[in-house]
Amino acid sequence: MASGFSDYLRRDLLLAYRRRGEAASPLVFFIMVSTLIPLGISPESARLAEIASGIIWVMALLATLLSTDGLFASDYQDGSLEQLLISPQMLAMPVLGKITAHWMVTGLPLTLASPLLGVMLSLPEEGYVPMVVSLALGTGCLSLIGAVGAALTVSLRKGGLLLSLLVMPLYMPVIIFGSATVQSAIDGFAWSGPLAILGAMLAAAIALCPLAAAGGLRLTSIN
Amino acid sequence: MPNTPLLTVERLLFERDDCNVFEQIDLEVGRGEIVQIEGPNGSGKTTLMRLFTTALQPTSGNIRYAGQAIDLCRYEYLSDILYVGHQPGVKMTLTAEENLRWMAADCSNSAQDALAAVGLAGYADIPCYNLSAGQHRRVALARLLMTNAKLWYLDEPFTAIDKQGVSFLESCMRDHIRRGGAVVLSTHQDLTIDGVRKCIIVPHGDQGGF
C-alpha cells in the first residue's frame, strides 16, 4: 500500500480533478459572496475600500472552513482510511500529503482569485501584493488547522458544527494577522511584521498539525 | 524458527463500555493454515479482526507475530499483513485499475492481469461508481493477487460475491497457504477447503438464545 507524502498528494489531486464541480465550490462561494458585498453595503468605492481587506479575509476563511469537512470523510466512508491507519509507515506524512492537496485545491485558487475580488471591492493599490502573499501563507495555516478538527470529527455523522466550533478559535490569530498585513500596507506602514508572524504560524502548523491530525485519526478509529 | 506460529493470540480481551465484547480468546495460526472465525452476529468478529490489524488496542492479552509482541515489531508486522474489511476501500471516482495500482503499489504483478483473474477484464478503465457492489468487492479482492503479505485477514470476504467468485477466492487461499502463508477469515459460509480450523467466538454473557 502506497503511503508516502507524494503518493497521497497525487491521489487526492486526482480525486479532486475527477470531482471538479465539488472541488471548485469553495472558490465559487468565495467569489459569489464577495460579489454580493457591494450590492448589500454600498457600491461607493471609498466605503468599500475601508472594509475590502477584512471582507476578503473573512470570505477566504469561511470558504476554507466549508471544505475542511470533507478532508477525511470520503476516505472514512469507503474504508481507505482504515487501510491507511494500518499501513506500516508513519501516519503524519500521508496526512500532510492530503492537507497539501487540500490547500492546492482550495487555498491556492482563493489566493489567485483574490486580486480579482480586490478590484471588485476597490481595494487600494498598495494592498494587492500583501493580500496575495498573506492569503497564500494564511490559507495554508487554515488547511492545516482545519485538518486537525476534521480528523477529530471524522467518525461523527454530523460533525460539521462541532468542527466549526473546534477550529474557529484557532483560526482567529490567522485572520487577525492576515488582515493586519493588508491593512498596514494600505495605511502606509511596513507590513513585514504581521506577515512574519503569519509565516511563523505556518511553520509551526506544518510541523505540528499533521502529527495532531494523525493522532486524531487514531483516536477516532478506536470507536 | 520454522516452528513458531505466525500469529499467537494469548488471553485476548476487549472491553467496550466497561463490558467485555467476547470471552477470552486464545489462538495460534501457523504457516499454511486457514482459520475461520465463527460466531453469531454481533459477537465481535470484526472487532477481533481490527484488534489483529492494530486498528484497535486490546484491553488485555497479547498478540505475537512470529513469537514477538506486535508492538515491538510493528513495522515488520504491518508490512506482512493484508486486511480486507467490510468496506472495500475502493474509491468511486477512480477506475478499477487505478484503485488496484493504488492499493498494491509495492507489487510488480500487473494490475490488468489481476483484474482479468477476478473477472473484471475490460472494466479496468471504468470508474468504480459504474460497477456493482459485487464488482467493488472483486476489485478489493484482486489485491490478493498483488501482495507479498504472509498473513491475510479477510473480514466476510464472500459478501456480495457470486458462486464463481467464491470458488476463485478459495483457490486464492489454497495457493496462498501452499506458499507458506496463513489466512484468518470470518464468514458464516462453510468453506470447501480441507483442514480449515474453526475458532468460535463466544459473545460475553451469552445466554444461548434461539
Structurally, chain B folds into a number of domains equal to 1
| Residue A173, number of CB atoms within 10 A of its CB | 14
Look at residue B207 and tell me whether its pLDDT is greater than 70: no
Nearest to A80 among B76, B79, B91 (CB): B91
The answer to whether A184 and A194 are in contact (CB under 8 A) is: yes
Of A160, A118, A95, residue with least CA distance to A34: A118
Inside any domain, residue B207: no
Let me know the angle formed at the C-alpha of A82 by A14 and A24, rounded to the nearest 5 degrees.
30
Mean pLDDT of chain A, nearest integer: 91
CATH assignment of the domain containing B91 = 3.40.50.300
Average pLDDT over residues A188-211: 95
The answer to whether A129 and A191 are in contact (CB under 8 A) is: no
Confidence at residue A221, expressed as pLDDT on a 0 to 100 scale = 74
Q: Do A15 and B94 touch (CB under 8 A)?
A: yes
Contacts of A14 in chain B (CB under 8 A): 94, 98
Measured CA to CA in angstroms, residue A14 lies from A28, A102, A205, B65, B102 at distances of 20, 11, 25, 37, 12
Inside any domain, residue B37: yes
Inside any domain, residue B99: yes
> Could you tell me which residues come within 8 angstroms of residue B9 by beta carbon, excluding any fewer than 6 positions away?
B25, B26, B27, B28, B52, B61, B62, B63, B64
DSSP H/E element including B45: helix B45-52
Portion of chain B with pLDDT greater than 70, in percent: 95
Inside any domain, residue B171: yes
Helix (H, G, I), strand (E, B) or coil at A14: helix
Portion of chain A with pLDDT greater than 70, in percent: 98
Q: Do A82 and B79 touch (CB under 8 A)?
A: no
| Containing structural domain, residue A190 | 5-221
Locate B86 and state its grid cell: 467490510
What's phi and psi for A183, nearest 5 deg?
-65, -40
Confidence at residue B106, expressed as pLDDT on a 0 to 100 scale = 67
Question: pLDDT tens, A23-79?
Answer: 899 999 999 988 898 899 888 888 898 889 999 999 999 999 989 988 998 899 888
* Calpha distance A203→A212 (Å, rounded): 15
Question: pLDDT tens, B27-71?
Answer: 999 898 999 998 888 888 888 998 998 888 888 888 999 888 888
Contacts of B133 in chain A (CB under 8 A): none
Inside any domain, residue B208: no
Nearest to A79 among B74, B85, B102 (CB): B85
**pTM for the structure as a whole:** 0.90
Measured CA to CA in angstroms, residue B98 lies from A71, B82, B132 at distances of 20, 19, 17
pLDDT band for position B19 (cuts 50, 70, 90): confident
> Could you tell me which residues come within 8 angstroms of residue A216 by beta carbon, excluding any fewer than 6 positions away?
A148, A151, A152, A154
> Could you tell me which residues come within 8 angstroms of residue B120 by beta carbon, excluding any fewer than 6 positions away?
B96, B135, B138, B139, B142
**Which of A72, A86, A223 should be substituted to probe chain B, the one whose Cβ sees the most B Cβ atoms within 10 Å?**
A86
Nearest to B93 among A7, A15, A79 (CB): A15
- Helical packing angle, A45-68 and A107-120, nearest 10°: 160
pLDDT band for position B208 (cuts 50, 70, 90): low
Look at residue B192 and tell me whether its pLDDT is greater than 90: no
Q: Do A14 and B94 touch (CB under 8 A)?
A: yes
The answer to whether A185 and A127 are in contact (CB under 8 A) is: yes
* Cα within 13 Å of Cα(A149), Cβ side: 26
Q: Do A86 and B78 touch (CB under 8 A)?
A: yes
Confidence at residue A79, expressed as pLDDT on a 0 to 100 scale = 87
Contacts of B102 in chain A (CB under 8 A): 2, 7, 11
Nearest to A86 among B54, B86, B92 (CB): B54
Of A49, A56, A68, residue with least CA distance to A31: A56
- Helical packing angle, A160-186 and A128-153, nearest 10°: 160
- Higher-confidence residue: B17 or A104? A104
Look at residue A1 and tell me whether its pLDDT is greater than 60: no
**DSSP secondary-structure letter at B63?**
E
Helix (H, G, I), strand (E, B) or coil at A155: coil
| Containing structural domain, residue B22 | 7-200
Least Cα separation, residue A71 to chain B (angstroms):
14
pLDDT band for position B99 (cuts 50, 70, 90): confident
- Higher-confidence residue: B202 or A150? A150
Contacts of A2 in chain B (CB under 8 A): 102, 105-106
Structurally, chain A folds into a number of domains equal to 1
List beta partners, residue B182: B151
| Residue B32, number of CB atoms within 10 A of its CB | 15
Supply the DSSP string of A160-187, one letter for each residue.
HHHHHHHHHHHHHHHHHHHHHHHHHHHT
Question: pLDDT tens, A133-172?
Answer: 999 999 999 999 999 999 999 988 777 788 999 999 999 9
Looking at mean pLDDT, say which of A185-194, B2-11, B124-133 comes out highest. A185-194
Mean pLDDT of chain B, nearest integer: 86
Q: Among all residues of chain A, which has the CA nearest to that of B127?
A: A18
Locate A169 and state its grid cell: 478559535
Average pLDDT over residues B150-156: 91
pLDDT band for position B16 (cuts 50, 70, 90): confident
- Helical packing angle, A128-153 and A192-221, nearest 10°: 20
* Calpha distance A93→A6 (Å, rounded): 9
